Amino acid sequence: MKSEEFILNTPSLSAYKWWPGGLGQTANVAIVMAQLYIKGKHYGLHPFLVRIRNAQTHLPEPGVDVGEIGPKLGLNGVNNGFLGLKDVRIPRKQMLMKNAEVRPNGRFVKGPEPLLTYGTMVFARVMIVRDVSFGLLQAATIATRYSAVRRQSPIAVDQPEPQILDHTTQQAKLFPQIAKGIFFRIAADVVWLIYQSVAKELGAGQRRNLPELHALSCCLKAYCSAEAEEAVEILRKSCGGHGYLRSSNFPEIYGAVTAACTYEGENTVLLLQTARFLVKQYVDGLKRKVLPSSVTYLRNATPPKWGKSVELKTLVRLLEYAATESVRSAFEYQKKQRKIFKSEPMVTNKAGIRLIQSATLHARAFLARNASEEAEKLRRQLKPALAEVLVQLTEIFVLDLCLAMEQLKTRFERLLEEFRVNAVTVVDGFDFSDRVLGSTLGCYDGHVYERLLAEACQSPLNEEPVNQTFQTHLKPLMQGKL
């Protein structure tokens, strides 16, 4: 303390930090979140600026154990690192003291409650919804184009084999993913606007709308990343064996999209956060309080009437009703558990499955309402022919969310048939360049087989006409000399 220094330690291997991007060989300073102890007393988690590599030599500083974490499922271009610290001393001033302060005499002074840290996480999560929608749309572009080139399994008698895009089962794999990519992107844009307005309010010290935004960004990040991950794999497999080739670029896209299920808040944890908000709002609703706009439906959801022709807004209300019922079930179950367990975290734990279902259904309801409302706005700005395509996509998106229902099947099948003619044009309209898609299967010109062979020929195994392993292994084996 006399030297006005902090001493940083990671006392066990499980205290090592893992994963920050650029930490492995690149960064030379790090902001370290550490438990603060002063004279043996614990003051919680605080941020410290720590030099981890020498500014001149780039060698790790004494006491710093830093390196790269090794190969991963994807994103191998990111220099993810691990960091261990042993008796690393830093000047007192290198504690980031905006929200809490340690005085030269060792006195700890707490500042006002931090508002904006929350906001930063929201920002990252909205960005993730955008990112995964791009990955999804790229995969959809590749699969749709390939399905227009690849021909298999006769449908009509005496006709050549059809484009596989003409198979209903193939359409059912592709078209809902196109719609998802589009409406996830639109949802991200809408939440982005909400974020900007809430950030402005936060700047003025007003945090009233933060919980709603936080809850919304949590469940959308979780739901959209999980759906996009699944969608990319459906699309990859829709290309058969060739989708399994790295040169299709599906494995790379998958690696990036599935990572989003885990980083910036693991999906299950995020859904539980949204669920806590939903249950609280549901209780407020029972007390007839006014609820934030994205959850107003929790107050007065009723099973919608089911006529002969079902309008889109009826389906939206159906999804909202399902979400409300799920929140109610979680709430009731928690009440029961509270009679058995004293600890509130234990009550949450026991209700975990139901809470996660609530948050998931809330995300679906929000996405459906948002899709139908935004499409309605966009439609008015479009030429009729284009507006029709947008309506098709909106219906495919919302019906896909409700598809457990037998009654909607015929309509869904009809939609697939109608959208067939627009599919290739729509994905072309996403305007991903061949370089961005990086796929042998998905180029604009449709020259799939030339690219596949050209790419295969670049495999190192094909460099020599006879691989050296013939001499070292195969020949001795064939001659019985192994």
The catalytic residue positions are 264
Distances (CA, A) of 452 to 76, 248, 255, 456: 23, 9, 21, 6
| CB-CB contact of 188 with 198 (8 Å) | no
Task: Give least dist CB 14 to a second copy, A.
Answer: 5
- Considering only residues 339 to 368 of the shown chain, the ones binding a second copy according to CB under 8 A are 342-343, 345-346, 349-354, 356
Comparison of 76 and 196: residue with beta carbon closer to a second copy: 76
Kindly indicate which of the ranges 17-25, 44-52, 294-302, 391-399 contains the residues binding a second copy, using the contact rule CB under 8 A.
Answer: 17-25
What are all long-range contacts of 309-315, with beta carbons under 8 Å and residues at least 24 apart?
310/407, 310/408, 310/411, 312/372, 312/394, 312/395, 312/398, 313/372, 315/368, 315/398, 315/399, 315/401, 315/402, 315/408
Q: Taking the C-alpha atoms of 8, 12, 18 and 23 in order, what is their torsion angle to the nearest 10 degrees?
A: 40
Q: How many CB atoms lie within 10 A of CB 13?
A: 8
Beta carbon nearer to a second copy, 14 or 105: 14
Encoded tokens for 452? 């596949």
3-class secondary structure for 370-439? Answer: HHHHHHHHHHCCCCHHHHHHHHHHHHHHHHHHCCCCHHHHHHHHHHHHHHHHHHHHHHHHCCCCHHHHCC
**Contact between residue 320 and residue 365 where contact means Cβ atoms under 8 Å apart:** yes
Interacting positions 188-227 with a second copy (CB under 8 A): none
DSSP 288: T
Nearer to a second copy among residue 280 and residue 420 (C-beta): 420
CA angle 77, 82, 83 (to 5 degrees): 140
Site residues (CB under 8 A) for a second copy, limited to 224-243: 229, 233, 237, 240-243
**Of residues 141, 147, 267, 360, which one binds a second copy by CB under 8 A?**
267
Which lies closer to a second copy via its Cβ, residue 19 or residue 192?
Answer: 19
**Residues 446-465 interacting with a second copy (rule: CB under 8 A):** 449-450, 452-453, 455-459, 461-462, 465
Q: Which is nearer to a second copy, 5 or 233 (CB)?
A: 233
| Structure tokens given for 310 | 């079902």
List the one residue from 45, 385, 421, 466 that touches a second copy (CB under 8 A): 466
In the region spanning residues 385 to 444, those forming contacts with a second copy, defined by CB under 8 A, are 404, 406, 409, 412-413
Q: Which of 3, 11, 13, 42 binds a second copy (CB under 8 A)?
A: 13
Shortest distance, position 386 Cβ to a second copy, whole Å: 27
Tell me how far, at minimum, the Cβ of 449 lies from a second copy, in Å. Answer: 4
Q: 79: which residues sit within 8 A by CB, 6+ positions away?
A: 21, 22, 23, 24, 25, 26, 68
Residue 321 CA to residue 342 CA, distance in Å, equals 31
Contact pick of 211, 251, 304, 438 for a second copy (by CB under 8 A):
251
For a second copy, which is the closer residue by CB, 325 or 373?
325
- 90 to 149, contacts with a second copy by CB under 8 A? none
Footprint (CB under 8 A) of a second copy, residues 310-329: 329
In whole angstroms, how far apart are CA 360 and each of 69, 192, 254, 277, 345? 33, 20, 22, 13, 20
Reading the block at residue 358, the tokens are 């609530």
Q: How far is the CB of 354 from a second copy (least distance, A)?
A: 7
CB of 472 to a second copy, least distance (A): 12
Q: How far is the CB of 180 from a second copy (least distance, A)?
A: 17
CB of 239 to a second copy, least distance (A): 9
The two tokens of residue 105 are 């005499």
**Interface positions, 19-78, toward a second copy (CB under 8 A):** 19, 24-26, 53, 57-60, 67-74
Tokens matching residue 274: 């949204």
CB nearer to a second copy: pick between 212 and 229: 229
How far apart CA 437 and CA 323 sit, in angstroms, is: 37
Contact flags string 169-188 toward a second copy, x per CB under 8 A: x--xx---------------
* CA-angle at 406, arms to 405 and 412, nearest 5°: 85
CA distances to 154, 263, 278, 367, 450 from 363, in Å: 40, 19, 11, 6, 43
Q: Residues binding a second copy: what is the number (CB under 8 A)? A: 93
| CB nearer to a second copy: pick between 269 and 286 | 269
Q: Which of residues 149-168 bind a second copy (CB under 8 A)?
A: 153-157, 166-168
Residue 302 interacts with a second copy (CB under 8 A): yes or no = no
Closest distance between a second copy and the C-beta of residue 341, in Å? 9
Binding residue (CB under 8 A) for a second copy from 184, 250, 397, 432? 250
State in angstroms the smallest separation of the CB of 143 from a second copy. 14
Euclidean distance between CA atoms 90 and 64, whole angstroms: 12
**Which one, 118 or 263, has the nearer CB to a second copy?**
263
Cα–Cα distance, 29 to 52 (Å, whole number): 5
